[in-house]
Amino acid sequence: MTRFDLAAFSNAVADIAGQAAPVTASFLTHHGRTATAFHWGEGLYVAAEESVEPDEELQLALPSGETVKTELIGRDPSTGIALLKPSTATRGTSFKKAGPVRLGDVVVAAGRDGASPLAVLGTVGEVGPMWRSRRGGSIDRRINLAVMAGGRFEGGPVLDASGGLVGMLLFGPRRRALVIPYETIERTVATLREKGHVLRGYLGASLHPIRHGQVQGAMVMGLDDDGPAKAVGIALGDIVTAWNGEPVRGPRELILRLGPDSAGAAVTLRILRGGEARDVAITIGEKPLN
């Protein structure tokens, strides 16, 4: 059995943290706390979308110690990614892509709080296939972490043992640490650079889950005046039970169908109104940015 060299391991972790420090930046969120962004390339930074308030002036604290005004190029709530551009040109390096991630792999989550770079050691606690976020975003791989990281790390890079970028750290339900993988960031950044947002389908209805006897579905609790649902006669109290013949057992299943490829699609919704089932043809709209 090979003797474990604790000093060598400690130095390797410190080296990874040191490589991350010049690539991370920080900013104050609308909640009054600090969050992290990191350099993606060509002077652009990525951050956690939920930490960025689009109507507020954003100031990014760069590794150089300089604090600069920063433009929000675009954001995608469905994948949790925001793209930022500091007013001062930066020539920082960017991370290489990490290799395949395995259960139990050691990772380093990096962050920044003003002038102070941050780092914490953890492991990959779960790996899995593609999944969809609560807002219907397509996330290329499931990667959950076993790591003790506070809110200052949100939006920061997660690195493998060679310093490669696994993805961006976010917090899911019950503050579970998860990773938005490199591939998802790469795809989303390309769209945000071009359009400023990622296209999403739009019904124009607020929904509530209902389960009563044999009835399961999404009850319409509110309607946008200019939304597609109101335009085709869907009314308050209607219960959506199917999408193109496939059962809808609640709002989440309906939202998951409103991905980028749904905008403009002609769909048949089965609804219950006063206990009577009927089919409604509707063209899915494009979700407004706000």
pLDDT per residue over 39-96, tens digit each? 999 899 999 999 998 777 899 999 888 999 999 999 998 899 999 999 886 666 889 9
In this structure, which topology does domain 201-286 adopt according to CATH? Pdz3 Domain (2.30.42)
The domain spans of the chain are 1-197, 201-286
Other CB atoms within a 10 A radius of the CB of residue 257 amount to 19
Kind and range of the H or E run holding 216: strand 215-223
Q: Model confidence over 232-260: pLDDT tens digits?
A: 999 999 999 999 999 999 998 888 888 77
Give dist(CA 13, CA 17) in Å, integer.
6
Q: Which CATH class is domain 1-197?
A: mainly beta
Q: Is the pTM of this model over 0.85?
A: no
DSSP at 264: T
Cα separation values, 65 from 52, 92, 113, 116, 183, Å: 21, 13, 11, 10, 30
Mean pLDDT throughout 274-282? 93
Report how far apart, in Å, the C-alpha atoms of 102 and of each of 105, 127, 156 are: 6, 7, 20
